[in-house]
Each structure stands twice: as structure tokens, then as C-alpha cells.
Amino acid sequence: MEEFAALLDALVYTTSRNRKLALIAAYLRGSPDPDRGWAMAALTGGLDFPAVKSSTIRNLMMERVDPVLWALSRDFVGDTAETASLLWPEPEDAAPQPALSLSEVVDRLAALTRATAPKELPGLLGRMDAKGRYALIKLATGGMRVGVSARLAKTAFAMAFEVPVEEVEEYWHALSPPYTELFQWAAEGGDPPDLAGVPRFRPFMLAHPLEDGVVDLKDYAAEWKWDGIRVQLVRAGGETRVYSRSGDDISATFPELLDVLAMDAVLDGELLVRGVTQGGEAGGAASFNALQQRLGRKTVSKAMLRDYPAFVRLYDVLLLDGTDWREQPWKSRRATLEGLMPRLPESHFDLSQLVEAPDFAALSAIRDTARDEAIEGLMLKHRDSPYVAGRRVGHWFKWKRDPLLIDCVMMYAQRGSGKRSSFYSDYTFGCWDGDPDVGAELLPVGKAYSGFTDAELKKLDKFVRQNTLNRFGPVREVKRELVFEVAFDSVHTSKRHKSGLAMRFPRIHRIRWDKPAHEADRIESLRALIKD
């Protein structure tokens, strides 16, 4: 556990990607099994200890330190684990105890229940120094936030043992922590994990943004970029699974897709839900807002299946009937996919259609007029590109439509986390519900924490501190004076918000220091942008 705590401490204090890779790789090479496997699971979000929540740690601290001191310290530090690890009372005259391994800590955390956690955790925390307590709390609550993504951790694994990261990705999602078979293959030179007949995830091919560029449509094909969630359908060994773009198994959320593939295949596409007419008939793709009704549900009711039926709009084929198509050019894979469509039920699959245009200028005009709420923009795919994991320059481009813009007024601010824990960097903003000159109120329409520079953040933080009206826990209400020009992809009706509206991907486009608040937009302007 001491080595893992030292790793987390070092990761927190470096912003260098190469340094983080080197630190993780060194830890993996120098640590025994299964400790290193549990460490990888922790860094990639593969551990879950439901008996321990942030509230568990907070309640333990409130029993041991002054509640006001805890609240002020947590507000200043911005991180529960760091605050608790520093404030935890050191035991007096405690006899030294042998250090625990990471595996022993994982076993003890896994054995906790909601009833036993408050009794057992103090004993564990009392055996460790501040670094160890920080690592223990991060491990238990699952919120690492040490600047390491799952992809970066897997890249470090591949670097540590000099194996291809693409192969690591392919094996990873079919195995469980502490990944014994993976380490035997990569670190010990053993055989690759035997995954024959297992429906496993393959890393997605991704696209680079097309920024002020022009491509030759003789070399590139265009198709719509649909606004759903990218998924991979895999059938092998008589079983079908649905994976998200991060490799998470979301099969239970979309059970209607699990018995519709009659052949072994790995298919790439966009998961959407169909709009349902008043007569109960399924139509075309509905908005992302409709899809959100299905996301993240552990159980899916019959009403959900009826009102928001899921289907997949297919983009590509990776494997089919025992043949691996990934090394073949896109045009061959496209022809194979078109030939596959008659074998698939129309109720659950359709094909993403190509967008035809005589030249790039005409394609640009088509893109500019596309405001279907289920379309994000265009994808441009080189006709000779293989299907390769990750982003490869020149193969695929994404060309998103220009965002919608509206002027809003800052209403509330909250501190960020991590590097931003000392700054008010999360902003809630609203539009006027009528004419502000005759007493109309502002109604919240969105929240954003991106789109500004570090210099602008400091200026915004100063504004919040100097213009605070009220405080509600960590949230500050501010004077209705500052206007944001907010960019967003679409807007939908929402029963959860007082305004009745919810923005999709809001971000701050410009800070309008020059614009009076009463000139900001009204709710009716935002509502007019909703697509039926």
C-alpha cells in the first residue's frame, strides 16, 4: 500500500504526460501480483466499494474534528480525500503495526458493508500516514482524479512491458481485476489470454476535427455524424454484448439489442432511439434528449422499451462470420456492410447514409443547412483507410456543425475541483422570463465550466468574490450583471429545470464584459430553437 500511495502522490504533483507514463510503468514493473493489477483497476475506474461513499468519510471526520473546521478546510482545499487525510487525528502511543499490502486493503474494503464501514475504516486510516490515508480514501470512494485517464494507464502498461497498446485494449475489457492473465502475457511472456468465443470489445477508430481544412471528395466519403452514443455490437459464442466507446458493457441497458444478431460479428454504429408517433408507430431518430431517458438505467421497464425503442445506425464492420475486415480499406468494409443489411432486422438496424455532393463547397453548404436535432455534423472518411484504433492523421475527420449562440446572465458560481479548487469556475446562467425592464426574473437554463482562458478564469473568480449576494453551502449567488455568450449544440424541453429547458453541451463562447445584463436573451428566444 505504501508503494501505491507514493505513486498517487507523485502523479498528483506532475502535469507531464510522459512523467505520468514513466511513473506508472515503473510501478507496474516493480510491484508484485496481484497488487499491480489492483492498482491498474483503481487507475482505470475498475473498482467499486459500495459500502464507502464520500458521506462516510465526511461523517467520520465530523466525529473527530470540529465541524466548522472541517467545513472551512474542505471548502478551502476542494478535495475530500486530501482534507480528511491531513486532518485525521494521529493515534496517541499506538503500537506500530505491520504495513498492509494493496491487496489486503482491497480485500478489507470489499468485505465492508454500510453497517460495518464506519467501525472498520478508522482502524485502517489509523494505521497509515497522510499519504496512505489519501490513497485509501481515493481507492475506497473511487474518485482518483490524479490526472490519469484509463487510456493513459493502459498506454503505461503497454510501455512497461513493451507490448502493443491495441492488444492490451482488446484483452482488457474481457478480463476482470486484478488482470492476472494479462500480466502473465505481458510481463512474464506467457500466451495471450484465451478469449475464444468471448464477445469482447475492440478499440474504436476515432476522428480528428477538421479545422479550416478542405478535402478532396474523390478521396473522402461523407456521412452524417449522428447525435447518439457510439456503440459496438459484438456477437461471439452465442452471446451478444453492447459496448460504449470507453469499452463499458451497457448490454443490460439495451436488452432489445441482445437477440437480434444471428451471426458472429463486431459492428460499429450509433445507438439512437426512435421517435414514437401519436398512433404508437416508431419513426426516425429522436433527439439525444429522448435517448437520455434510456441511459444509465440498471433495469428497463416495458414502458421505456415501448416509448423509447433503441436501434443502431451502422457505420462500419470490423469482423463478420470469422473474417477480420479491419485491415481492408473503408470502401471494401462499406460494401461488406451494405451487403450485410438484408440479414439484419430493420426494426433494430439501419445504415448511415452517405452524403453526396459534387465538390467540397457544395458539401459545406449542405452541412450549414443541417439542423436536424439528431445530427451533429459530418464525418469525412478516406476511402482507402483501414480501421485502426485511436486517431490516425488523415484517415477520418469530424466536421461538426457550428454551435448555436445565445446571451445569458451569470446567476451562481461554484468552486471547481483539482487545479481549480481555489477558483469559482463552475457557472450557472439564465435567460429573462419576459421583459427585464418591467420586472421579469432570470430563470436558469444551463451550467458551464469551460470555454475561457486561465487569465479569464482569474478575472471571473474576482468578479464572483466581489459581487456575491448570498451563499448556499459551496454555491455563491452573484449580482445579475455579467453576460456570457453561450455556445451549445441544441436545446430540449426538461421537466427537471424551472425554465423547462435544458441545453446540450453548453460552454462559454465569449465573456461579454461590455454588454448590459438587461440586453441578454429571453427564454422565448431559447425555446424557439427547440426542434419538434
Task: Indicate whether 48 belongs to any domain.
Answer: yes
Q: Which of 273, 203, 263, 207 is nearest to 235 (CA)?
A: 263
Coil, helix or strand for 403? Answer: coil
Judge if 226 and 363 occupy the same domain.
yes
The span from the CA of 99 to the CA of 101, in Å, is: 7
Task: Indicate whether 200 belongs to any domain.
Answer: no
Judge if 391 and 415 occupy the same domain.
no
Q: Residue 291 in contact with residue 228, Cβ under 8 Å? A: yes
Q: Residue 465 in contact with residue 424, Cβ under 8 Å? A: yes
Judge if 118 and 228 occupy the same domain.
no
Q: Residue 101 in contact with residue 74, Cβ under 8 Å? A: no
Judge if 41 and 74 occupy the same domain.
yes
Q: Residue 520 in contact with residue 483, Cβ under 8 Å? A: yes
Judge if 496 and 364 occupy the same domain.
no
Q: Residue 359 in contact with residue 215, Cβ under 8 Å? A: no
Judge if 347 and 432 occupy the same domain.
no
Task: Indicate whether 192 belongs to any domain.
Answer: no
Look at the block and give the residue holding cell 444471428. 262
The pLDDT of residue 309 = 93
From residue 130, give the alpha-carbon distance in Å to each of 2, 49, 69, 348, 470. Answer: 11, 21, 18, 53, 35
Judge if 235 and 312 occupy the same domain.
yes
Can you give the three-state secondary structure of 99-135, one letter per residue? Answer: CCCHHHHHHHHHCCCCCCHHHHHHHHHHCCCHHHHHH
Judge if 220 and 361 occupy the same domain.
yes
Judge if 413 and 394 occupy the same domain.
no
Name residue 14's amino acid.
Answer: T
Judge if 270 and 294 occupy the same domain.
yes
What CATH number corresponds to the domain at position 514? 2.40.50.140
* Domain around 302: 205-399
242-262 pLDDT, tens digit per residue, is 999 888 899 999 999 999 999
- Of the residues 121, 141, 161, which one is the last residue of a structural domain? 141
DSSP 3-state percent helix, strand, coil across the chain (nearest 5) = 35, 25, 40
Answer whether the bond into residue 178 is a cis peptide, omega within 30°: yes
Q: Is 213 exposed, middle or buried (0-12, 13-18, 19+ CB in 10 A)?
A: exposed
* Helical axes 2-12 vs 35-43, angle rounded to 10°: 30
For the chain, counts of helices (H) and of strands (E): 18, 22
Task: Indicate whether 174 belongs to any domain.
Answer: no
Q: Is 50 exposed, middle or buried (0-12, 13-18, 19+ CB in 10 A)?
A: exposed
Judge if 393 and 412 occupy the same domain.
no
Task: Indicate whether 210 belongs to any domain.
Answer: yes
Q: Residue 261 in contact with residue 233, Cβ under 8 Å? A: yes
CA angle 382, 388, 389 (to 5 degrees): 130
Instruction: Domain count for the chain, please give it.
Output: 3
- Of the residues 372, 399, 426, which one is the last residue of a structural domain? 399
Q: How many CB atoms lie within 10 A of CB 204?
A: 23
From residue 289, give the alpha-carbon distance in Å to each of 281, 374, 500. Answer: 19, 10, 13
- Of the residues 399, 428, 459, which one is the last residue of a structural domain? 399
The pLDDT of residue 93 = 67
- The terminus-to-terminus CA distance of the chain in angstroms comes to 55
Beta bridge partners of 226: 375
What grid cell was written down for 407? 446571451
pTM for this prediction = 0.78
What grid cell was written down for 238? 452465442
Task: Indicate whether 190 belongs to any domain.
Answer: no
Task: Indicate whether 459 belongs to any domain.
Answer: yes
Q: Which of 477, 478, 475 is nearest to 75 (CA)?
A: 475
The span from the CA of 524 to the CA of 532, in Å, is: 15
Q: Is 495 exposed, middle or buried (0-12, 13-18, 19+ CB in 10 A)?
A: exposed
The span from the CA of 434 to the CA of 237, in Å, is: 60
Q: Which residues contact 363 (CB under 8 A, 6 or more apart)?
A: 217, 222, 355, 357, 378
The span from the CA of 125 to the CA of 98, in Å, is: 14
Catalytic residue numbers?
Answer: 225
From residue 337, give the alpha-carbon distance in Å to each of 227, 246, 330. Answer: 21, 23, 10
Judge if 465 and 389 occupy the same domain.
no
From residue 251, give the alpha-carbon distance in Å to each of 169, 243, 258, 317, 326. Answer: 19, 7, 7, 19, 24
What grid cell was written down for 73? 478546510
Look at the block and give the residue holding cell 419538434. 532
Helix intervals (H) in 202-352: 288-291, 302-307, 330-340
Q: Which residues of the chain have pLDDT under 50?
A: none
What CATH number corresponds to the domain at position 88? 1.10.3260.10
What grid cell was written down for 375? 445530427
Task: Indicate whether 492 belongs to any domain.
Answer: yes
The pLDDT of residue 277 = 59
